[in-house]
Structure 1
Amino acid sequence: MINGGTSLLGLLGNPVRHSLSPVMHNAALESMGLNWRYLALPCKTESLDLVLQGLRAVGCQGLNVTIPHKQAIAELCDELSPLARRLGAVNTLVPGVDGGWYGTNTDVEGFLAPLGANEDWAGRDAVVIGCGGSARAVVAGLQSLKLNTITVVGRRSEALQAFNTDLQQDNAPLTACLENAPQLKEAVAQAALVVNTTPVGMAQHGDPKAMPLGAELWSGLSPKAVLYDLIYTPRPTSWLTAGQRRGHRCIDGLEMLVQQGAASLRLWSGRHDVPIEAMRSAAETALAT
C-alpha cells in the first residue's frame, strides 16, 4: 500500500509502456517487504538531465535505463563502474553518496544467464545485430565465452567503427559488417549464435511482424544455430517464431530482463535475498494476460 513513507524506483526510456519491469519489480518489492514502488517513466532524450536531477532531489532509490538512453545517460552520471565505463552504456543508476548518480551495467550478467553455464561456446562464431547500448553489453558478455569471432551488424559505418574501436579485445575479435554487405550471408551461415539487440519486431515499435535484416537472410542459418532476441513483447517475436519452425533453439529477452533486474535490485537494496522466481512468475503472468 502506498503511503507517506513509500519510496520510488523507476525505468527511464522511450517508449516504456510495453515494459514488464514494473510488474516484475513490484512483485519482488512486496515479497521483500520493502515500502518502495517501481514505475515506468517515459522520458525524451533532451529531458534526461532535468529528470535525473529531479528524481535525485526527491529521494528516488534507483533507476533502470532502457532504449534509447543507455549511452546518453552515461555522460550524465557523476561516477561510472569500470564495466559501464568500458561499455559507454548504463542500464542501472544508484544514488550517489554525495548526490548525483552512480551508473553501472547489469545487462551483461542478465544476458549471459540463459546461455547456460555448462555450454561450451569456445571457438565458435557469433553475429550481433545492432550496435547500440544493449549491443555493447551483449558483446562484452560474448567476449567472456572465448568465441572465435563476433560479427557486429549495423546500418551506419561510422557507428560500427566506433563500436568496434571501443570494445575490441584480442580474445574474441570483432568484425564490423554493414547490413547490406555481401559478407553478411557468410557470417550468418557460419554463426553458432545470432543475437538481435535492435527493436525490430517489438510490439509498439513499428511493424511487430518485421524481422531484423529481413526474412530472406535467415534461410542460410546452420540448423544448430541458436537465436537470441532481446525483445520479449511479443513473445515470441516473428523472428523467433520462424526460427522455431526451422528447429532452432530460440531464447527471448524475458530471462535477461529478470536476471538483470534482480542484479539491479540487489544493488539498490543492499540485499541478496531478491526473489527471482517471484519476478519471473509476475512477468510471465503479465505477458499471458
Structure 2
Amino acid sequence: MNAPYAHVIGDPIAQSKSPLIHGFWLERLGIPGSYKARLVESAGLRDYLAERRSDGSWIGCNVTMPHKQAILGELDALDPVARKLGAVNTVVRGEDGSLKGFNTDAPGFLEPLMPMLESQHLFRMARIIGTGGAARAIIAALADNGFTLVVAGRDPAKARALLDELAPDGEHHAIQLSHFAQPTDFAFDDREGCLDLVINASPLGMRGNPPLAFDWSHAPPGSIAYDIVTDPVDTPFLKAARASGHATIDGLAMLIGQAAVAFEKFYGAIPPREDDAQLTELLTK
C-alpha cells in the first residue's frame, strides 16, 4: 500500500492553508504521508467520494465551502456533534471504505477563547456575522458556553432558524446584516465583568470577496474581535477593530485548532503543538 494521504476539498481551494499545517506536522513527527488541496466543484462531490472509497491509501479529507452541508447525504455515518450541527468539515475513511463525518470547527473555534471561558462572567454576549456552515458550529459552541447571541445575516429568517435549531434556550436575536454597517450612538452599560465577542463567521473580507461592513460603534468597550477568515490573515475587520481599541483573534487560531483534531483522526498521532509559533510564522509568510 502507498503512503496514506488526505485532502482538503472545496471550491475555491487554492487559498487553503491546511496543506501547510498538516505537512508541517507530518514532517515534524516523521510520519510518512501527505496532505494536499483538491478542487472539488459541487457537481463533482459525489464522484470524488466514490473514487476515494476504493482507494485504501486515502484516509480522509477536510471539507470547506461550499460542501460542509451538501456532503451530509454522501456519508455512511455522522459523529453526534456533526449530526447536531448539520455540517461536516472532516471525513474519515474506515478500513472497509465507509465514510464517517465529523465537525472539528467548534473545538477549533473555542480553543483560543478557553482562558477567558474558564473565568466567571456576569454576562456573555456574542455578535455573530454569517449563517453558513462555520456559523452553525460557532452558534452551538457559544450557546453551550452561556452566551446570549445576536446573529446577523443577509436573510434574518435563516439566522432565526439557526438559533431556533441550535440554541433554542435563551433570548437570542436574529437581525439583518446591514444593521451593523451604519454608526450607532447606543450608550453601552458598564461592561465590567462581562465578555463580549464580535465574530465574522462569513467569507466577507476573504481575498476576492467584498469587505465586511461593520461599524465598531456597535461593539461594547472591551469587546474581542474574532475573524475566521485566513486569507488574508489580518483582515480589514481586524484592522478596524484594533484601531477602535479592541483585542483581536485571527482565523489561524481556529484553523490550527480544528486541524489538530482532524490530524489526530487522520494519522493517529497528536500534532506537536509546542511548535505553534513556528507554524504560525510559516503560515503568515
Shift of 1:144: 2.3
Output the CA distance in 1 between the equivalents of 2:253 and 2:103.
16
Q: How does 1:48-59 map to 2 (within 5 A)?
A: 48-59=45-56
Shift of 1:152: 1.0
CA RMSD of aligned residues (A): 2.5
Cα contact 1:5–1:35 (8 A) shared by 2 = no
Cα contact 2:198–2:219 (8 A) shared by 1 = no
- Tell whether 2:193 aligns with 1:195: no
Name the counterpart of 2:129: 129
Cα contact 2:139–2:167 (8 A) shared by 1 = no
Alpha-carbon distance change, 186 to 176 in structure 1, aligned in 2, over 3 angstroms: farther
Shift of 1:268: 1.6
Output the CA distance in 1 between the equivalents of 2:276 and 2:44.
30
Shift of 1:241: 0.4
Pick aligned residue for 1:237 from 231, 235, 250: 235
Shift of 1:19: 1.2
Tell me the number of residue pairs that the alignment of Structure 1 and Structure 2 aligns.
Answer: 276
Alpha-carbon distance change, 19 to 89 in structure 1, aligned in 2, over 3 angstroms: same
Output the CA distance in 2 between the equivalents of 1:187 and 1:267.
47
Pick aligned residue for 2:108 from 107, 110, 118: 110
- Tell whether 2:37 aligns with 1:40: yes
Cα contact 1:223–1:246 (8 A) shared by 2 = no
Name the counterpart of 2:27: 30
Name the counterpart of 1:206: 209
Shift of 1:162: 3.1
Q: Secondary structure at the match of 2:233?
A: coil
Name the counterpart of 1:265: 263
* % same residue: 35
Cα contact 1:53–1:100 (8 A) shared by 2 = no
Alpha-carbon distance change, 8 to 166 in structure 1, aligned in 2, over 3 angstroms: same
Cα contact 1:93–1:104 (8 A) shared by 2 = yes
Shift of 1:80: 0.3
The normalised TM-score by structure 2 is 0.88
- Unaligned runs of 5+ residues in structure 1 are none
Q: How does 1:15-164 map to 2 (within 5 A)?
A: 15-59=12-56, 60-117=58-115, 118-121=118-121, 123-147=123-147, 149-164=148-163
Shift of 1:67: 1.5
Cα contact 2:160–2:173 (8 A) shared by 1 = no
Output the CA distance in 2 between the equivalents of 1:103 and 1:80.
5
Alpha-carbon distance change, 179 to 268 in structure 1, aligned in 2, over 3 angstroms: same
Name the counterpart of 2:192: none
Name the counterpart of 2:3: 6
Output the CA distance in 1 between the equivalents of 2:277 and 2:88.
23
| Matched AA of 1:44 | E
Alpha-carbon distance change, 283 to 66 in structure 1, aligned in 2, over 3 angstroms: farther
Query: CA-to-partner distance for each residue in 1:1-24, whole Å, 9 max, x for gaps?
Result: xxx732211101111111111011
Output the CA distance in 2 between the equivalents of 1:72 and 1:220.
34
Alpha-carbon distance change, 221 to 56 in structure 1, aligned in 2, over 3 angstroms: same
The normalised TM-score by structure 1 is 0.87
Q: Secondary structure at the match of 1:268?
A: helix
Shift of 1:267: 1.3
Name the counterpart of 1:253: 251
Query: CA-to-partner distance for each residue in 1:212-270, whole Å, 9 max, x for gaps?
Result: 2x14x323322211110001221210010011111101101101111110101111223
